[in-house]
């Protein structure tokens, strides 16, 4: 572009010099000559004009030379400027080339990176496409298998279609059988639910009975258990509880019947209660041979129970083998009685019953020091139980027995007698208490208050009018 500009300037300068107007003298020299009348004047004029023409020619030549000089100078300048422009253009072209080369290299690097990314993405797309192809093939295989199964099923259905009438008949027959079975199941389920309901109600009643037993209220406990057994007559546990309580109340026949049903479950507790009932039956028999037979049967059952469970306790929390010790005491086998009362004491050390009976036996044997030790212990245990539940008349019997043996006066014992007379509704517990007092009275040196206490208890039993009841 610079070279073109300089060349244009030179051409313009040349054209300008060529187009410049000639001087006026030169123009006048070309005019026509004047008339001949004034020849001299004319020659002079012509000479003058020739000189002017030469002067004009000189001026013109000088102007041309000047113009040529200017043109030469301009040419040199144009050449220099052209060279400079060419150098500048070359430098600029080189820079431009370097820039273009850098840009080209950058473009190549970018293209290389783009190519790498493209190759990576293309590889991923290829992997994904391969995976999709594999999945598609798997699904197609599954679809073919499913289609085959559908075809088989359709063939089977087509085959079954011919037997649809028979199948429908079979279905109707099955539905009829199901209806009958449903009626049977409904009846059985309702019966089972009713049995469950009765069993649950019986369980609640048995819990009420157990609470009354803990309070020493045997009569309401028996009533609860009788209702429970009506609701659930096959429950051997309820039969055992009811039979045990009836025996404790002296209702031996009813109690033994319940215990015999309870023994069907092979429960050692039912066996022990049954043995105790047999022993009580023996207590009421006057024939010594028959009585000893009953005692022997009871003893064998107790020893069998001991073999299976030596630490078995009854519904009142006492060892069941206290009744076996009492059996031996009735037979006069005091050493065996002491042995089994000691076992009972070890099984239930918190109870005063075995300790009190041990004290009575030692007292009868004349071992007063040993007897007093046990009487004091029985007194402590009985007082502890009465502090928790004052209605426990069995603990109060033990307390009175210990106080009598330890020499307390009848006046200190009388309030306890009055309390148990109010608490005990049956004479059976009073008779058992009386039996222990009579054992004390058979000692070589009976306690001083024993006679008064025995007379008071016998009077109470007589006043109740049921001396023959047990």
pLDDT in tens, 18-57: 544 444 443 444 444 444 445 567 667 767 777 777 787 6
pLDDT band at 469 (very low <50, low <70, confident <90, very high): very low
Q: Do 320 and 269 touch, CB atoms closer than 8 A?
A: yes
Which of helix, strand or coil describes residue 33?
A: coil
Residue 270 lies in a domain: yes
Q: Which sign, positive or negative, has the C-alpha torsion 227, 427, 405, 333?
A: negative
Is residue 27 a part of any domain in this protein? no
Q: Is residue 408 part of a domain?
A: yes
Domain match, 332 and 239 both: yes
Asked if residue 243 is part of any domain, the answer here is: yes
Q: Are residues 467 and 407 in the same domain?
A: yes
The secondary structure of 244-300 as a DSSP string is: HHHHHTT-HHHHHHHHHHHGGGT-HHHHHHHHHHHHHHHHH---HHHHHHHHHHHHH
The packing angle between helices 268-284 and 322-330, to 10°, is 20
Rounded CA gap, 206 and 236, in Å?
Answer: 12
pLDDT band at 83 (very low <50, low <70, confident <90, very high): low
Looking at the structure, tell me whether residues 14 and 142 fall in a common domain: yes
- Domain final position from 157, 191, 206: 157
**144: containing domain:** 2-18+55-157
Is the predicted pLDDT of residue 84 greater than 80, yes or no?
no
Q: Is residue 28 part of a domain?
A: no
Return the CATH number at 285: 1.25.40.10
Does pLDDT of 180 surpass 90? no
> Could you tell me which residues come within 8 angstroms of residue 218 by beta carbon, excluding any fewer than 6 positions away?
212, 245, 248, 249
């070890």: which residue's tokens?
Answer: 346
**Distance, CA of 9 to CA of 249 (rounded, Å):** 155
Same domain, yes or no: 438 and 318: no
| Unique residue bearing structure tokens 């157990």 | 210
Per the structure, how many domains does the chain have? 4
Q: Are residues 308 and 267 in the same domain?
A: yes
Same domain, residue pair 331 and 447:
no
Domain boundary among 129, 157, 185: 157
Q: What is the sign, positive or negative, of the torsion defined by CA atoms of 306, 361, 418, 408? A: negative
Among the listed residues 1, 191, 184, the one whose alpha carbon sits nearest the alpha carbon of residue 82: 1
- On whether residue 23 sits in a domain, the answer given is no
Of 41-45, 133-137, 234-238, 463-467, the range with the highest mean pLDDT is: 234-238
pLDDT in tens, 387-412: 988 888 889 999 999 999 999 999 99
Q: Is 465 left (phi over 0), alpha (psi -120 to 50) or beta?
A: left
The answer to the question of residue 393 being in a domain is yes
Q: Is residue 104 part of a domain?
A: yes
Q: Determine contact, residues 237/207, Cβ cutoff 8 Å.
A: no
CB 434 within 8 A of CB 457: yes
123 in the same domain as 259: no
Q: Are 304 and 437 within one domain? A: no
Among 178-187, 311-320, 414-423, the range scoring the smallest mean pLDDT is 178-187
Mean pLDDT (the chain) is 80
**Residue 78 banded pLDDT, cuts 50, 70, 90:** low
SS3 47: helix
pLDDT at residue 302, rounded to an integer: 95
Could you give the percent of the chain with pLDDT greater than 70? 76
Write down the pTM of the prediction: 0.57
Residues 311 and 270 in one domain: yes
């Amino acid at each position: 572009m610079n070279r073109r500009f300089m060349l244009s300037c030179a051409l313009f300068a040349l054209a300008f010099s060529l187009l410049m107007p000639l001087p006026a003298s030169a123009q006048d020299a070309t005019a026509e000559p004047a008339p001949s009348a004034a020849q001299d004047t004319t020659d002079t004029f012509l000479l003058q004009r020739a000189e002017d023409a030469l002067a004009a020619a000189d001026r013109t030549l000088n102007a041309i030379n000047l113009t040529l000089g200017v043109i030469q100078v301009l040419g040199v300048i144009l050449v220099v400027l052209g060279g400079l422009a060419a150098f500048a253009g070359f430098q600029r072209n080189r820079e431009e080339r370097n820039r273009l080369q850098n840009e080209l290299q950058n473009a190549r690097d970018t293209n290389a990176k783009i190519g790498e990314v493209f190759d990576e993405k293309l590889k991923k797309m290829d992997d994904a496409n391969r995976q999709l192809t594999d999945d598609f093939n798997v699904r197609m295989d599954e679809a073919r298998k499913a289609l085959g199964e559908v075809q088989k099923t359709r063939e089977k259905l087509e085959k079954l279609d011919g037997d649809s009438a028979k199948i429908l008949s079979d279905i109707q027959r099955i539905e009829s059988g199901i209806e009958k079975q449903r009626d049977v199941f409904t009846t059985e389920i309702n019966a089972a639910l009713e049995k469950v309901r009765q069993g649950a109600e019986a369980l609640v009643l048995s819990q009420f009975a157990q609470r009354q037993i803990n309070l020493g209220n045997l009569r309401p406990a028996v009533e609860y258990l009788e209702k429970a057994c009506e609701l659930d007559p096959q429950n051997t546990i309820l039969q055992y509880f009811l039979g045990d309580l009836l025996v404790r109340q002296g209702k031996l026949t009813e109690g033994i019947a319940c215990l015999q049903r309870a023994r069907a479950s092979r429960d050692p507790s039912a066996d022990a209660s049954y043995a105790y009932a047999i022993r009580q039956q023996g207590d009421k028999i006057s024939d010594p041979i028959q009585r000893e037979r009953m005692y022997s049967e009871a003893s064998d059952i107790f020893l069998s129970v001991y073999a299976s469970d030596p630490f078995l306790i009854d519904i009142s929390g006492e060892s069941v083998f206290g009744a076996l010790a009492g059996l031996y005491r009735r037979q006069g086998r005091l050493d065996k009685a002491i042995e089994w009362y000691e076992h009972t004491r070890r099984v239930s050390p918190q109870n005063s019953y075995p300790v009190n009976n041990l004290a009575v036996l030692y007292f009868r044997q004349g071992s007063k020091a040993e007897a007093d030790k046990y009487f004091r212990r029985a007194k402590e245990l009985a007082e502890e139980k009465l502090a928790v539940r004052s209605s426990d008349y069995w603990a109060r019997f033990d307390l009175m027995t210990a106080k009598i043996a330890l020499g307390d006066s009848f006046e200190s014992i009388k309030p306890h007698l009055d309390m148990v007379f109010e608490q005990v509704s049956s004479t059976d517990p009073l008779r058992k208490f009386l039996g222990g007092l009579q054992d004390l009275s058979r000692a070589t040196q009976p306690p001083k208050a024993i006679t008064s206490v025995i007379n008071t208890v016998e009077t109470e039993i007589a006043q109740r009018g049921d001396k023959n009841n047990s």
